[in-house]
Homo-oligomer: A and B are copies of this chain.
C-alpha cells in the first residue's frame, strides 16, 4: 500500500479521536503522529499516547538537531512533531495521521508539500461545540471559553483544507473519514509523480 499523509484539524470537542478510533480497522496500516510538548501532563494524559512530555532543555536540543518536522510556542510551551518516526512510517508505506491545529497544518504542508491531504472536522455549529464541551465535564468554564474563542479563529482557515467533515452523526463522520483516508493513499508528491512518469515512459 502506498504511503500517505493526512492532517486532521478542528476544535477540541469536534470528536476527532472518536472518529479515528472508530475508523481504525478500515484505513489500512497507519501511524498516528504523537506530538512532543514541554507543558505538564494534565490529569488522565498518558505519555506516548497523548503527548511525549519533555523538558524545555530537551525540546531546544531537538530544535538545534533539526529533529522537528514542525514546532510552535503556545502560551509559553513548546509543541512539535518529531521528524524521524514520521519518515520511518512513510518509508514503511503507512498512512501518517496528524491531529494538529491550523498553524501545525501550515507547517506540515510546508514540510511535506503536495503529499498532504487535510480535513477539518467540526460539530455542525459553534453552539453545538459549546454544548459538547460542557457535556464532557472535563474542562473548567475558563478552558471552555478559551476553546470556543480558539474555534472561532480556526474556522476562518477552512479554505486551507481539502475536505470538511461536519460531525453531526458519528456514523457519517466515520465513513467520511474512511473515504478521505483511503483516498489519501492515491495522493502523490511531486517527486513520486516524477519518478512514476520516468518509469512509465521507459518501460
User: A residues bordering B, Cβ < 8 Å?
Assistant: 114, 119, 122, 124-128, 152, 155-156, 158-159, 162-166, 175-176, 178-180, 182-183, 185-188, 190, 193, 196-197, 199-201, 203
Given known A163-B186, A179-B179, A182-B179, contact A158–B122 (CB-CB < 8 A): no
Specify the main secondary structure of chain A where it touches its partner: helix
- Please determine whether A193 and B158 come into contact, CB atoms closer than 8 angstroms: yes
- Please determine whether A127 and B203 come into contact, CB atoms closer than 8 angstroms: yes
9 nearest A-B residue pairs (beta carbon): A179-B182, A163-B186, A183-B183, A125-B203, A179-B183, A158-B193, A180-B183, A164-B188, A179-B179
Choose one: B127, B166, B185, B200; the contact of A122 (CB below 8 Å). Answer: B200
Q: How many copies does the complex hold?
A: 2
- C-alpha spacing A200/B152, complex, angstroms: 9
- C-alpha spacing A50/B190, complex, angstroms: 33
**A29 CB, nearest partner CB in chain B, Å:** 16
The listed residue with most B CB atoms (<10 A of its CB), out of A128, A186, A187, A190, is A186
Given known A186-B119, A186-B180, contact A200–B124 (CB-CB < 8 A): yes
- C-alpha spacing A127/B199, complex, angstroms: 11
- Please determine whether B159 and A193 come into contact, CB atoms closer than 8 angstroms: yes
Choose one: B119, B159, B166, B199; the contact of A114 (CB below 8 Å). Answer: B159
Chain B positions within 8 Å of A197 at CB level: 155-156, 158
- C-alpha spacing A186/B200, complex, angstroms: 32
Chain B positions within 8 Å of A182 at CB level: 175-176, 179, 183
Chain B positions within 8 Å of A127 at CB level: 203
Chain B positions within 8 Å of A200 at CB level: 122, 124-126, 155
Chain B positions within 8 Å of A175 at CB level: 182
- Please determine whether B203 and A164 come into contact, CB atoms closer than 8 angstroms: no
Chain B positions within 8 Å of A155 at CB level: 197, 200-201
Chain B positions within 8 Å of A156 at CB level: 197
